[in-house]
Structure 1
Amino acid sequence: MKLAALAAALNLPASSQSPEVLSLEVTDVTHNAAWAQPGSLFVAVRGARADGHSFIQQAEERGAVAVVGEGLPAGVGTRLPYLQVPDARAALADLAAELHGHPSRELKVVGVTGTDGKTTTSWLTRHLLRAAGLRTGLLSTAGYELSDGRLRQFPAHFTTPEAPQLQGILQEMVQEGAQAAVLEASSHALALHRVRGVAWDAAIWTHLTREHLDFHGSVEQYFADKRRLIEASPFAVLNADDPWTERLRGIAPAEVTYSAEGRPADWQASGVQESGQGLQFQVHSPLGDFSATLPMIGVFNVANALGAMAAAAQLGATAEQLQAGLASFGGVPGRMQLVRDPDLPSEQQPRVIVDFAHTPPSLDKALHTLRSTTEGQLWVVLGSAGGNRDPLKRAPLGEVAARCADQAIFTEEDHRHTPLQDILDEMERGAHEGGFSNYRSIGNRQEAIRFAVGQAQPGDTVLLAGKGPEDTLERDTETIPWNETEEAEAALALRPR
């Protein structure tokens, strides 16, 4: 694509560059100089740790043909053409959408945001749209799928990838015949313009609690950044059980509400019953009343199902398709995922659950959910992220774990540069100040899992919390491969026969 077309997409006047420059051929766009290649347009983003302008020479050496930025810093020069814009991250997104041909315009796109429930709601929505006959792709924390249904992993810990990668995946979906896509939109992705340029058709709001304040600075800013999805969508699906929803009403041109707790809403659930096989409830909706069966653990998943159904209905799903789709849902990797030893009868082993719960509210919900169906003791193995990831939640996590479980094991969870013992001490402090003594720390996560699973008795439940479907574990400067489900399976296999 000619640079002239990209400059026009950024609303830059043609007179800002010479005809020779505007005729340059651009093959891709990136903000990472190490990813630049012949024909790249390099966007120099000023980040929290580094200024992209420092890497212009590297990008040029790798073949970049031009640079986009908010202005060259004093003492920094370049031989490449320089296009100045007011917001480099916004420009990165706009350029990516233009270079990939705005693929979302050819899809029905549902965005999902909130603190907890995003991933489950995203997977449920994807499944319901497929049950309604739409070839549907997915971008979520657990990975991404084209319309073929095969789960692929991102190369780094992004809930949503950067704009060039996101637009590239959407383009792949279109090329493979997708008709719809479901995108899990994190607060980081919304604040950093990673999903800018996506043509939304519907947005689902799950709920909001304290999270990622190291990045957003305050709960108010966290809310404001998440609200961007509702502001960008023509249709909003809002959780009436969330107090923040009142401040979202009337923002989108059209909206529906849902409630799993009996509040007035367009989509409601009643008569909820939970068993070892899952959930049964009645749905009251604009499509009429119907019964629903959802093979998932956790009453809180009723709310996720209602939000997903409301969005799928907006895209054309019928009540019959929603009913059949819920009943056939296979679950989400690392979300209340049941792990068993296939060589032993169920009554001869503890129940082991892998779940992504990593905030105090989500951990509280998960443990209370499992408590109601646990005959013996309830165990939990968990850690808390290091680095600059909201250290104020470490002590509350320890308190919730000790209060809600019979046995709490504190361990590592991506402690990065933060000394692991500092994190464990904070979690122990939270449990101790809560008046509990039913906890211990085992720093190595594999050892912690094997201890809990090895000590648990048949009838007990062991919740492995925090990692879920993530495929790496970060220890100081080291990043190692990790699979929580496989670790659970190995721990079960080591139990005495």
Structure 2
Amino acid sequence: MTLEALFAPFGLKAPPLEVRGITLDSRRVAPGFVFVAVPGVPLPHRKPLDGHDFIEDALRRGAIAVVGERPLALPVPYLRVADSRQALAELARRFYGNPDQKLTLLGVTGSKGKSTTASLLHHLLWEGGVGAALLSTVGLRLGRERRPPLGHFTTPEAPEVYAFLREAVDLGLEAAVLEVSSHALALKRVEGLSYRVGVFVSFYPDDHLDLHGTPEAYFQAKALLVERSELAVLNTALPHLDQLRGRPHLLFGPGGEVWAEGVREKEEGLAFTLHTPWGKGEAFLPMLGAYNVENALAALAAALALELPLEGLLEALGRFPGVPGRMEVVQQAPFRLVIDFAHTGKSLEEALRTLRRTTPGRLLLVVGAAGERDPRRREDIGKVAARLADKTFFTEEDHRTEPLEAILQALAEAARKEGGDFVLVPDRKEAILLAVLEAQPGDTVLLAGKGHENTLEKGQEALPWDERAVALWALEVRKEALGQGGKARQEEEA
């Protein structure tokens, strides 16, 4: 597309230069790119960056045009707009040829359970013969192809969203499941998209208040997904449910149209009887945690709304391969080692209570708290860890530009008030190793907070990180240590 065609709807005459890309990050600018200067988001813990301060950098890197909100005179075409984020989404959609119009879109939002529900829904669609893409926190799926997630956000910025949808269309896929965060809705990363089905899984009013300010504003941000959906799939436990029922909807959970009866937690997963307007049947989900029944109901309701047959969906549910970093069992015996993304007090409590029910021995926990996030999370995590884990190894978790020592001390102070057993181990790799070395048969070791994420943010750097790989390394070290110890004892006895 040419710059002339891209800017035409905005009324700005521009030369017919070829546009090679659009970005709000000056570091990603290459010759032929349009740079959109976006004001930063004010947060309590840090001064926001402002894209207008990086225009010179973008020009040095080869930007052929700039979009911004300030009155500026530049050596390249400059489009001044009232809202840079809105313009970024509109330009990206136009640049990628309105790919959303050629796909059946399904959006999933919620305080917890988004990734699992979105992954489940994509699996059910694919197993039901619908060629679908998946954009989520835990990674991308384009048909059968797996890709790592796009950066550290649940939902990437608008150019990445529309580029992903364009690729899905070009591959001949029919649908796309999008995990949609409140940040994405409030910051217009998914502006312009309309959904065949919008799923609202859960809502915890004390989450993300550093961005939204109040629980009401947080709820309204998530409610935007419902407003933009032809059919809403809603949890009966949601607050303000009456506000969401003004459009066509399907309720799941107790008192809803899609609900579970007789949930049984087993070592290998969850069994329950599924009730729906399309009939009932016995369901099995190979995942730990009774709360995942709620995620399964949400995904099943959305798939049923698309007229996929119930019998096939129940069969597909039993074949679900799980979600990386979501109650992922790395080792079952002699002690269990589990990786989970739980990074708030509420989600950590659910994970620990779930594992406690099937742990005959001690529950050992490795966890930290992120920097540049609501400081109240640290107190919640520290208290929950002290109450529900037998021993906690407090460690790093994306402390970013905040001092790690201050975060660890906040966790320790909260845990100390509850009388918990804990140690402070700043290096996460070392903390994981120490927990694995301490574990005994029958224990469970939970590595919480990082889950699927492939970076560990220290200062201004995002260093490569693979929680599963570190866990496997720690198990090997333990095996070697035990082997050497056994050999030494044999020699001593001889």
Identity level (%): 47
Q: What is the deviation of 1:278?
A: 0.5
Partner letter of residue 381 of structure 2?
A: L
CA–CA separation in structure 1 for the residues paired with 2:274 and 2:353? 24
Q: 2:27 aligns with which of 21, 34, 52?
A: 34
2: CA distance, partners of 1:421 / 1:6: 49
Distance 1:247 1:409, change over 3 A: farther
Partner of 1:79: 75
* Aligned residue in 1 for 2:249: 255
Residue 95 of structure 1: aligned partner: 91
**Aligned letter for 1:189?**
A
* 1:331 matched residue in structure 2: 322
- Give me the whole-angstrom Cα distance separating, in 2, the residues matched to 1:418 and 1:178: 43
Query: Counterpart of 1:350 in structure 2: which amino acid?
Result: F
Tell me whether 291-300 or 214-223 shows the greater mean CA deviation. Answer: 214-223
Contact 1:131 1:324 in 2 (8 A): no
In 2, the alpha carbon distance for the partners of 1:2 and 1:149 equals: 31
Displacement of 1:249: 2.3
1:285 aligns with 2:276: yes
Shift of 1:69: 1.9
Deviations 1:437-493 (A, max 9, x none): 322221111111111111111111111100001111122333321111111111222
Q: Which residue of 1 aligns with 2:303?
A: 312
1:149 and 1:37 map into 2 onto residues whose CA distance is: 27
Alpha-carbon deviation of 1:23?
Answer: 4.4
Structure 2 distance, partners of 1:354, 1:426, is 23
Contact 2:132 2:176 in 1 (8 A): yes
Q: In structure 2, the residue corresponding to 1:190 is in which secondary structure?
A: helix
Aligned position for 1:352: 337
Residue 343 of structure 1 corresponds to which residue in structure 2?
A: none
Q: Secondary structure at the match of 1:494?
A: helix
Deviations 1:325-381 (A, max 9, x none): 1000000000000012xxxxx55x210000000111111111111111111111111
Counterpart of 1:421 in structure 2 is 405
Q: Aligned pair 1:276/2:270, yes or no? A: no
Deviation at 1:92, TM superposition (A): 0.3
- 1:167-206 counterparts in 2 under 5 A? 167-206=162-201
Q: Deviations over 1:239-265 (max 9, x none)?
A: 112334343222xx3111111xxx210
Q: Equivalent residue for 2:56? A: 57
Cα distance change of structure 1 residues 26 and 479 upon mapping to structure 2, 3 Å threshold: closer
Tell me the distance in 2 between the aligned counterparts of 1:489 and 1:39: 44
Q: CA deviation at 1:24?
A: 4.5
Would you say the 8 A contact 2:400–2:457 is kept in 1? yes
* Alignment of 1:149 onto 2:145: yes
For residues 71 and 437 of structure 1, what CA distance do their matches in structure 2 show? Answer: 53
Q: Are 1:350 and 1:453, in contact at CA under 8 Å, matched by a contact in 2?
A: no
Q: 2:354 aligns with which of 330, 353, 369?
A: 369
Contact residue 391 and residue 420 of structure 2 kept, 8 A: no
Match of 1:485 in 2: 468
1:46 alignment counterpart:
39
Offset of residue 229 of structure 1: 1.2
Change over 3 Å in CA distance of 1:83–1:476 after alignment to 2: closer
The structural deviation recorded for 1:267 is 0.6
User: Greater shift after overlay, 140-149 or 295-304?
Assistant: 140-149
Contact kept in structure 2, 1:407 and 1:438, CA below 8 Å:
yes
How far apart, CA to CA, are the structure 2 residues paired with 1:38 and 1:429? 51
From 403, 426, 429, the equivalent of 1:446 is 429
Q: CA RMSD in A?
A: 1.7
Hey, what's the Cα distance between the residues in 2 that align with 1:359 and 1:376? 24
Structure 1 residue 50, shift from structure 2 partner: 3.0
Query: Conserved in 2, the CA contact under 8 Å of 1:57 and 1:78?
Result: no
Instruction: State the shift of 1:8 in Å.
Output: 4.7
Amino acid at match of 2:168: M
In 1, the alpha carbon distance for the partners of 2:113 and 2:136 equals: 11
Distance 1:79 1:86 in 2: 21
Task: Give the number of equivalent residue pairs.
Answer: 473
Is residue 379 of structure 2 the alignment partner of residue 395 of structure 1?
A: yes
Report deviation, 1:60: 3.0
One-letter amino acid of the structure 2 residue matched with residue 194 of structure 1:
R
Aligned-pair distance for 1:7?
A: 3.4
| Native 8 Å contact 2:107 2:198 kept in 1 | yes
> Matches of 1:3 and 1:288 in 2, distance apart?
54
Q: Distance in 2 between matches of 1:492 and 1:206?
A: 36
Aligned match of 2:156: 161
Give the TM-score normalised by the residue count of structure 2.
0.92
The C-alpha deviation readout for 1:378-425, integer Å capped at 9, x for no partner, is: 111100001x21111101111111111222221111111212121111
Letter aligned with residue 199 of structure 2: I
Gap runs ≥5 in structure 2: 42-47, 484-494
SS of the equivalent of 1:202 reads strand
Partner of 2:488: none
Give the whole-Å Cα distance in 1 for the aligned partners of 2:50 and 2:148: 31
Alignment of 1:111-126 (within 5 A): 111-126=107-122
* Counterpart in the other structure of 2:490: none
1:243 and 2:239 aligned: yes
Structure-2 change in CA distance of 1:202 and 1:487 (3 Å):
same
Q: Distance in 2 between matches of 1:57 and 1:419?
A: 31
Structure 1 stretches of 5 or more lacking a match?
341-345
**Following the alignment from structure 2 to structure 1, what is the Cα–Cα distance between the partners of residues 21 and 427?**
42
Counterpart pick for 2:368 among 367, 374, 383 = 383
Structure 2: how far apart are the matches of 1:30 and 1:419?
31
Matched residue of 1:234: which SS? strand
